[in-house]
Chains A and B, each alone.
Chain A
Amino acid sequence: MTRAQKPVRLKVDQVQKIYQTGAGTEFEAVRSLTFDLHDGEFACLVGPSGSGKTTLLKCIAGLMRTTSGEVVLDGQSVNGPAKGMAVVFQEYGRSLFPWMTVEANVDLPLKTSGVPKMERAERVRDALESVGLDKAGAKYPWQLSGGMQQRVAIARAVASQPSVLLMDEPFAAVDAQTRADLEDLVRRIWRKHNMTILFVTHDIDESVYLAERVLVLSSSPTVIQNDIEIDLPQERDQLVTRSAARFAELRAEVYERVQFAKTNIHAVVEPARFTEAHA
């Protein structure tokens, strides 16, 4: 089954966000954003800094009101944090409750949404196992390294079995080695649990390595500038994949588009072939 034949999980429909910046002035952060995320898709949103990535993610997560347009999750319009949406934030150290053990952190969304106790224990164990932390359940988050803390946050999201998992530059604050491990971990979890993931990053290599599809954002006021299919094999490996010729091509393509986005403000419609635009 091709992507388009699968049901739409997340529909972002002409989302616009204008900030009131006081004294009657306005700032249009997001102009008109439209894309669909289908069941089981792994998409990355990349864009130059200041392209409103975080604003957009907050709008999708229901943490921020959109000025106009609509976010629809499983056919339901999103007005505020929605059941079925899980978010992994960049600031792992501040997104886990330090007064709870790792297990209690992962369990909290299940407990408060009324999942039966037996099932909860099972799901928490399964999620912690998926991120390789099955032995750290009784520890407190602050007893773990940064990378491990982020894995706990991922486990919490996995345990809640979301329709869509949003990740906001989740690996921006960890060291390179940990980052590579976490990338592989997310790929593994995505396949194992058949998840639908929207992953925001500023790292072009990361977006190509991780996703099946890369959405390139324009500069602010943001629109989707490009929608690039990543036709790399499912089985990815830090060494093999990153040294593949196709990876280099895709990387170069995304890189050029992001460069284009940086220099061309309000580039709502891009020329058919990007290279020709420069000629």
Chain B
Amino acid sequence: MTLLKKTGYFLGIPLLLLAAWTVYTSTATNFFIPEPAKLMDRFFKIWFSERFVSDVLPSLSRLLAGLGLSIVIGIAVGAVIGYVRWIRWLFEPLFEFIRAIPSTILIPVLLLLIGINDSMKITLIVFSCVWPILLNTVAGVTSIDEVLQNTAKVIGLTKFDRMRYLVLPAASPQIMAGIRQSLAVALILMVVSEMFASTDGIGHWTINFQNRVAIAEMWSGILLLGIIGVTLSVVFQWFQKRILAWYEGLKEKEND
């Protein structure tokens, strides 16, 4: 496919929608839908001024801290649970229960226990994001091929080396799938925590603008969140391509 064709496919529908939106707002006057030009104007004025430091960066750092902690905890705990059978049997029912609780309902509890601060928001993000990663890690670790395991044994790998050279790489495709799921969850929980209990952040201001009937401003928050979500996903895919290059190659070969 030529580059031109690719760009066409990529931008076709968005450009069409943008055109329809421009035409609509120039003919009809719906108070709740701002013109694209106005929205873009507000978007840059609001988020790329002092708010970038006072609100966007705090939101992003909470998001990344929550994600980072979830990844570390999810992989570490998941690997141990997947690796040691009796620990798995002991904890799996509990995990299934905790996982079934909608995390947003924990906001009141966390507010009481931790208070209105960054720790509370990060805790909330971790509480939801850790599960896809943890459970995928467990699944990946428990489904390692028997011949590979025997190979690791006869090679004489120690427990630590086996973790490093066999278990984690073998589980990495599933771990990455778990992380991918948790990206979307993290963004949702970041916004929700800011809408409920915050004095700064993208979520806080988006709901604040809505309360003050600042419609274009409200939309600009939504646009920013969308952009953050897409960026997160693009960065993740870049990493995944590098980490799982062997896996993609292997799968391609098997499908030949």
Contact = CB atoms under 8 A, between A and B. Distances in A.
Nearest to A95: B151
B157 A112 contact: yes
Nearest to A89: B147
A83 B147 CA distance: 18
Given A97-B169, A140-B246, A108 B155 contact: yes
B158 to A, nearest CB: 7
A103 B211 CA distance: 63
Interface string B114-153: 0000000000000000000000000000000101101101
Contacts of A156: 155
B11 interface: no
A91 interface: yes
B1 interface: no
Interface string A90-101: 010011111110
Nearest to A83: B156
Contacts of A109: 155-156
Contacts, number: 68
A98 B250 contact: yes
B253 A142 contact: yes
A99 to B, nearest CB: 4
B151 A142 contact: no
A99 B158 contact: no
A86 B154 contact: yes
Nearest to A109: B155
Nearest to B152: A97
Interface string A128-163: 000000000000101100000000000010001000
A87 interface: yes
A110 B154 CA distance: 13
Given A94-B147, A140-B246, A99 B153 contact: no
Chain A interface: which size bin? Answer: 20 to 34
By DSSP majority rule, is chain A's interface helix, strand, loop, or mixed?
loop
A252 interface: no
A99 B154 contact: no
A12 interface: no
A113 B156 contact: yes
Contacts of B165: 97, 100, 108, 112
Task: Report which residue of A62, A83, A97 has the largest number of chain B beta carbons within 10 angstroms of its beta carbon.
Answer: A97
B154 A87 contact: yes
A63 interface: yes
A110 to B, nearest CB: 10
B249 interface: yes
Contacts of B147: 89, 91, 94-95
B168 to A, nearest CB: 10
A143 B154 contact: no
Contacts of B246: 98-99, 140, 142
Interface in A145-196: 156, 160
Contacts of A69: none
A85 B151 CA distance: 12
Contacts of B250: 98, 140, 142
A81 B151 contact: no
A61 interface: yes
B166 interface: yes
B172 A85 contact: no
